[in-house]
Structures are given as structure tokens and as C-alpha cells.
Amino acid sequence: MLGLMMNMPLMISNLIKHADAYHGDAEIVSRLPEGGIHRYTYHDAHRRSRQLANALNGLGVKMGDRIGTLAWNTHRHFEIYFGVSGIGAVCHTINPRLFPEQIAYIINHAEDDYIFFDITFTALIEALVPHCPHIKGWVALCGHGHLPKSDKIPNLMAYDDLVNSHSDIYEWPEFDENTASSLCYTSGTTGNPKGVLYSHRSTLLHAYAAALPDGLNLSARDSVLPVVPMFHVNAWGLPYSVALTGAKFVMPGAGLDGASLYELFEQEKVTLSAGVPTIWLGLLQHLQANKLRLSTVRTLVIGGSAAPPAMIRTFDEQYGITVLHAWGMTEMSPLGTANTFKLKHLGLSAADRDKIRVKQGRPLYGVQMKIVDGEGKSLPHDGKAFGDLLVRGPWITRSYFKSTDGSPLVDSWFPTGDVATIDEDGYMQITDRSKDVIKSGGEWISSIDIENLAVAHPAVMEAAVIGVVHPKWDERPLLLIIKKKDMNVTREEMLEFMSGKIAKWWMPDDVVFVDSLPHTATGKLLKTKLREDFQNYKLPTA
Ligand code: ADP
């Protein structure tokens, strides 16, 4: 027997309709790449999204067509999220920090019809034009006055002209909730980027889960500033979750340095922000150097890489700000876990709570997780056993866009490529990437644990641990360190500092001081490069 409830598809257009209807005067504020602050409301954003929908129809954009964006977080990008997906087309956000060849590959692979770009990327667009012959038009995200003067970009138009020349009378169509809504390519440290194709249904379910109190805890009383870019897994889904809750939305444009963020945080009374650890390091340095305090921020969401324990503690103890450690990936829309306490943890000592806080967190309802050994056998959730982390759920990818390699799934589970423990309470902790784990004499050593320990030394700015070939043990850990300016530490002092804090057989066989470490376009350590650089390194123990 079927239930008798209404069968209404989960549509992205309903989010902006809802925000307009019930939070129409809530503000959306953007720092514009061309300068100045732009301020309007959900009501205005909905109106402009409808104008954009008419404009896209006028350009001949149909359901399923892909529209690319190379853009910062601004109100225009926000309108594109809703206008493009709303008509049934696919909003394809592209990471401008990738190499131009990768960007051209992605645009061609996605078969984008139009590219909407911020004028700060004009030189990049000029370089892309010859490699993307099928693009029908290039839309600069600006008003008429800022249209780039370029004769190298064919069919160039100003976004505001395009939008303003169309009516705002538009009824959002209703269609199958499994229709593709947006597309984001993984940055991928090896091989070509792979396209993750989200649907209206997956986006809505993710938006609900993210807003929950043990998710990001969003409400109509929040002022939310995503530092995480809208070209990076839909800014972790925040544009959708704020529309769902009616939170004020503040977008930083291209100003991601500590000083610019601080100014916006204070001016717009931001309560919650989200970004990768490097961003918060920059902010922290700015606060400390200028003896500043954040007067309204209650939560900083940190994800993308492990939040350093020292940073979590500093924000908490010195600034009264909760760091919400979250984990996910492009293939997961991206949220998988968030780290919040349970009732029974509230009475714990600060030290015991710290031990929980450094973990990546508990799964949001909708995400299932398990860890398996090399043979695919499930491992216990005891907080000690670590193995490959597999996930499933309605906002997790089952196949890559136009992939010819078959499904990535293993028995209907998605292999995350992370190695993790899960404890009795469901808290997951990443110990490594599958390909970065060091295999010493058949046992696994977590490079991340050693790195976390190394950066706790006051003279260490950044650390990386890689496995280096060893004749007896196959691989042994090598620790690479960038020292802080004007600080010194020797190899022996470093090893002495670490001794006793990790298992003896996890201790690095050598320490090398370097001036820099390679990173990916999204700021993660590029260990493939490091392993290449040190492939012939001779350990003293070898
Ligand atoms: P994103 O672009 O959002 O970082 P990617 O798909 O590029 O997502 O990368 C996902 C990977 O980033 C994860 O598989 C994991 O290795 C790493 N990651 C994400 N969040 C965390 C975290 N909180 N702690 C440690 N690693 C993380």
C-alpha cells in the first residue's frame, strides 16, 4: 500500500522561491571583484534569477545543456546557481586556479555552451578562447561599464545587460527531481579531472542535512559567509542551505586575505563562516598581529584538509569561537561528517574533549560509512583499527560524468581514497590518503599523524611525511619540514621532540629541512610530486 502524501519533486527553484516568500527582505551582500560592495535581498535575487532564466531561454539554452562559470562568490554567481539549474540546465562551476590546459579540458569534456566569468579572469579567458571553439558566447559578470575591452573574446556580453534586458515574469518548470542540476570536476592529483554530476534531489537532501544542528547548524538568525569558493563543490552546499533557512548571505568576492575577511565579518555581523585551514591561518595571523577580536562569529567550519589541533584550541580558548571540523569530498556534495559533541561528552575535561574535536566527525544522517582492510573485510569501529573508508548515500556519486571506466563503486559503496578509524560513538578520523599511507613491513603507518605531531613543534611551519623505499621494510617514513622564519631546530631536536609521542616504529627514519612544499590548486600537499622528488633518497637506515 502506498502512502497518501503529495508527490512533489525536490526542486532547486523551490529553495529560492521559499527564500523570497518567507525571507524576502533577508540580505545578500557581495564584495565585487570590480570593486565596491553590492547589497540586495532574496527577493531581488529571485527576481534576477527569473530574468536570467528568460535570458537563457532566449539564448537557446535547453534542459540538460551545460553552462560554465569561472567566478568568485558574488550575488551574480548566486543568481546563476538558481537561474541555470532552475530551467533544468546544468550549472558547471569551474575552478579558475587549475592550470589553463586542465580548464580547457574540463570545458570541452563538459561541452559547455556558454561561459560566465568574472572580469578578473579576462586574461585567462583570452587564453582559453582558441582551445574552446564550441563555446557559443562568453558572458562577463559585470555591468556595461566594466565590460572588458578585448578583441580576442568572440560573442562577449555583459551579464547585467543580458539580465536587465529580460522580463522577470517566469514560472519555474517542474520536472523529475533526479534531473542533473550542477557539475563540478574533482581537482585530481593524477590523471584527468573527473566530473561529478549532482541532481536536484541530491542537492536538496544535502541542503537539509547540512542545515541540521549537528551539521552546520544554520538558521534564519545567521549571517553566513562562505570563504570556500562557489567553484569548489558548490561552496560546500551553502548557497542552497542559506536559501533553505533564510540566513543572511555574505560573499567575499576575490578578497580572501585576513584583513578583507575581518572587515566583512565585522561589517556584516557574520556568525558562521566556512573554509580550508590555510584561510583560517591567514585570519588568525591578522587577528593576532593587530590585536583584533571577532565580535559576532560563533562558528568557523573547517574542512578540505585536517584542521590543526592547535588552531582549534586557539580559536576556542582565545577567541571564544567554535571550530566545526567537517569532512567530505566533491563526490559527496561534499558533506560526509561534522564534528559536534554528544550529550555525554559535555561534562568531559578540556583535554578529553580536544581528543574528540580533532577527529573529522560523525556522519550526517543519509551518509553510511564503513572501513575495510586490504581484502575488503569490514574492520571494527573501535577507534583503533584503520582501513579504507567507504561511503554510500543519496548525495554520493555513483558514476562520473561521461565516464568510460565503468562505475567507481565497490559492491555499491564509494571508495573515498581516505584511510580512517571509526570509534564506538561513530566519530571518524582520517589517518591518511590510501595512496599516501606508508607501508612498512606489511603494516600501515599514518603520514598524517606524524605530520600533526611535527607541526606541534614551535619552530615548524609546515611538515610533510612520505614513504621512501627501504631495502628491508619496503618503505619507511621521511619527514620534510619548513622552519618558521627566524626559528631553528635540528634534526636531532626534532626526533627528540617526537620520541615517545608515537609508536617507535612510526618514527621517521630521517628529517630533511626544505624551503617549500608543493601544493595542489586547492592547497593540499602534493605528495605525488614529493615522492617523485625523493624517489632516490637514501635513508640513513637503508
Ligand atoms: P574538496 O575539494 O572539498 O577538498 P576533494 O574532493 O578535492 O574535496 O578532496 C576530498 C579529500 O580532501 C578527502 O577525501 C580528504 O582526503 C580530504 N579532506 C577533506 N576534508 C578533510 C578533513 N576535515 N580532514 C582531513 N582531510 C580532509
Does the CB atom of residue 186 touch ligand 1 within 6 A? yes
Domain ranges (residues) in the chain: 9-200, 436-533
Residue type, 54: N
Give the confidence band of 45 by pLDDT, cuts at 50, 70, 90: very high
Average model confidence (pLDDT) for the chain? 94
Q: Residue 506: helix, strand or coil by DSSP?
A: helix
pLDDT digits (tens, 9 = 90+) for 432-483: 888 888 988 878 888 988 998 999 899 999 999 999 999 888 899 999 999 9
If 0-12 CB within 10 Å is exposed, 13-18 middle and 19+ buried, where does residue 213 land? exposed
Candidate from 42-46, 194-198, 436-440 with smallest mean pLDDT? 436-440
Q: Is the distance from CB of 209 to CB of 217 less than 8 angstroms?
A: no
- Residues 407-415, mean pLDDT to the nearest whole number: 95
pLDDT over threshold 80, residue 141: yes
Rounded CA separation 4/278 (Å): 50
What does the pLDDT read at residue 448?
Answer: 86
Candidate from 144-158, 189-203, 407-421 with smallest mean pLDDT? 189-203
Task: Tell me which DSSP letter residue 73 carries.
Answer: B
Does the CB atom of residue 447 touch ligand 1 within 6 A? no
79, 268, 331, 451: the active-site residue = 331
Per the annotation, the verdict on 504 as an active-site residue is no
Give the confidence band of 492 by pLDDT, cuts at 50, 70, 90: very high
Radius of gyration of the chain (CA): 24
Q: Which residues contact 486 (CB under 8 A, 6 or more apart)?
A: none
Rounded alpha-carbon distances, angstroms, from residue 225 to 63, 253, 300: 31, 11, 10
Ligand 1 mean position to 232 CA, how many Å? Answer: 11
Q: Please give the backbone phi and psi of residue 228, each rounded to the nearest 5 degrees, phi first.
A: -60, 130
The C-alpha cell at 454 is 611535527
- Residues 147-167, mean pLDDT to the nearest whole number: 97
Give the confidence band of 189 by pLDDT, cuts at 50, 70, 90: low
What does the pLDDT read at residue 488?
Answer: 92
Sheet containing 156-158, strands listed edge to edge, beginning at the edge strand earlier in sequence: 156-158, 137-140, 112-117, 66-70, 90-93, 180-185, 195-199
pLDDT digits (tens, 9 = 90+) for 365-405: 999 999 999 889 999 999 999 999 999 999 999 999 999 88
| Block residue for cell numbers 629541512 | 513
Ligand 1 mean position to 304 CA, how many Å? Answer: 4
The best mutation among 430, 433, 446, 455 to test binding of ligand 1, ranked by most ligand atoms within 8 Å of the C-beta, falls on 430
Helices and strands per DSSP (H, E), number in the chain? 16, 25
Give the confidence band of 30 by pLDDT, cuts at 50, 70, 90: very high
Does the CB atom of residue 330 touch ligand 1 within 6 A? yes
pLDDT over threshold 90, residue 168: yes
Give the confidence band of 519 by pLDDT, cuts at 50, 70, 90: confident
Indicate the CATH number of 9-200 among 3.30.413.10, 3.40.50.2300, 3.40.50.300, 3.40.50.12780. 3.40.50.12780
Q: Please give the backbone phi and psi of residue 411, each rounded to the nearest 5 degrees, phi first.
A: 50, 45
- Residues 53-63, mean pLDDT to the nearest whole number: 98
pLDDT over threshold 70, residue 190: no
Ligand 1 mean position to 500 CA, how many Å? Answer: 29
Ligand 1 mean position to 328 CA, how many Å? Answer: 5
Report helix angle 42-58 to 12-23, nearest 10: 140
Dihedral sign for Cα atoms in the order 424, 429, 431, 432:
positive
* Of 365, 388, 363, 364, residue with least CA distance to 375: 388
Rounded CA separation 534/470 (Å): 12
Residue nearest to atom 10 of ligand 1 (CA): 329
* Of 299, 303, 116, 297, residue with least CA distance to 228: 303
pTM over 0.85: yes
The two beta strands, 460-470 and 474-483, are antiparallel
What does the pLDDT read at residue 478?
Answer: 96
The kind and range of the H/E element at 302 are strand 299-302
Per the annotation, the verdict on 271 as an active-site residue is no
Residue nearest to atom 24 of ligand 1 (CA): 306
Cβ atoms within 10 Å, residue 461: 13
Cβ atoms within 10 Å, residue 538: 11
Beta bridge partners of 73: 253
Candidate from 128-132, 335-339, 490-494, 520-524 with smallest mean pLDDT? 520-524
Rounded CA separation 128/68 (Å): 13
pLDDT digits (tens, 9 = 90+) for 321-370: 999 999 999 999 999 999 999 999 999 999 999 999 989 999 999 999 99
* Of 315, 314, 321, 362, residue with least CA distance to 340: 362
Rounded CA separation 88/157 (Å): 23
Give the confidence band of 176 by pLDDT, cuts at 50, 70, 90: very high
pLDDT over threshold 60, residue 142: yes
Rounded CA separation 183/415 (Å): 20
Cβ atoms within 10 Å, residue 171: 8
Q: Residue 303: helix, strand or coil by DSSP?
A: coil
Task: Tell me which DSSP letter residue 29 carries.
Answer: E
Rounded CA separation 346/323 (Å): 16
Q: Which CATH architecture has domain 436-533?
A: 2-Layer Sandwich (3.30)
Give the confidence band of 34 by pLDDT, cuts at 50, 70, 90: confident
Per the annotation, the verdict on 439 as an active-site residue is yes
pLDDT over threshold 90, residue 316: yes
438-451 in b/e burial notation, b at 16+ Cβ within 10 A? bebeeebbbbbbbb
More confident residue, 501 or 170: 170
